[in-house]
Structure 1
Amino acid sequence: MKILITGGAGFIGSAVARAVIGKSVDQILILDKLTYAGNLASLRPVADSPLFAFLQADICDAVAVARAFEDFQPDVVMHLAAESHVDRSIDGPTAFIETNVVGTFVMLRAALDYWRRLDRARARAFRFMHISTDEV
């Protein structure tokens, strides 16, 4: 199985990546913008695995997201990328709207476009999971 994880350099996403690579033969592609919440060091334990790939990209970048879908051909999307922390949302709400609303829309649109091109069996099995904190 191929799993695309957005926000995969963050606290939760990196834990998911480490667990998947440590307990399965599934391939993962981490797509992360590497903002204040992303830390490549958290992925160091799996960085040398042939099952691991990393793409530094913004989920608001529709071209980069579409290319990730096309190149990686995921079976599952785990969308964890988000702006969080209430204090940050008060100080800079624009980033929250862009990432959490626009970015999620870009991801959903890219997933739908990709899904429509899949054969019937792969389309039936494809999953898009949006996983987030209560702050989002």
Structure 2
Amino acid sequence: MQSIIITGGAGFIGSHVVRLFVNKYPDYHIINLDKLTYAGNLANLKDIEDKPNYTFVKGDICDYELILELMKKHNVTGIIHLAAESHVDRSIKDPFTFARTNVMGTLSMLQAAKT
């Protein structure tokens, strides 16, 4: 079975993408990687949480070792990267968190995919 990681899958847009993939592609294992910060809500995915081709992993995209572990363990063949800090008010209040997640987190995903 091929596996796809979808980052930010508990957010508003991400949960719709996760649900679409889980239901439309039952032969793919969909791994939802989300840190569950202010934007993540697992209640968005109650209807698919018990599907056999769905796995939720609470984790940070900046955790390179976690990403590598998931990719190896599940033989990941694809990544849909939706995780991001996006609220403008929060970006002004705490720009380092935004830079860490949006830049370093994306770099972590790219490096893991390259390995």
Distance in 1 separating the partners of 2:37 and 2:58: 10
- Residue number among 30, 33, 58 corresponding to 1:31 in the alignment: 33
- Residue number among 46, 49, 57 corresponding to 2:48 in the alignment: 46
1:1-136 equivalent positions in 2, closer than 5 A: 1-25=2-26, 26-113=28-115
Which structure 1 segments of 5+ residues have no match? 114-136
Distance in 1 separating the partners of 2:39 and 2:68: 23
Code of the residue aligned with 1:6 in structure 2: it is: T
Greater than 6 Å deviation, 4+ residue runs: none
Distance in 2 separating the partners of 1:43 and 1:110: 26
Code of the residue aligned with 1:47 in structure 2: it is: E
Distance in 1 separating the partners of 2:65 and 2:29: 22
Aligned-residue offset at 1:24: 2.1
Code of the residue aligned with 1:9 in structure 2: it is: A
Code of the residue aligned with 2:109 in structure 1: it is: M
Output the aligned Cα RMSD. 0.9
Distance in 1 separating the partners of 2:55 and 2:101: 22
User: What TM-score do you get using the length of structure 2 for normalisation?
Assistant: 0.94
Distance in 1 separating the partners of 2:75 and 2:44: 25
Q: How many residues align?
A: 113
Aligned-residue offset at 1:38: 0.5
Aligned-residue offset at 1:90: 0.5
Which structure 2 segments of 5+ residues have no match? none
Code of the residue aligned with 1:68 in structure 2: it is: L
Aligned-residue offset at 1:94: 0.7
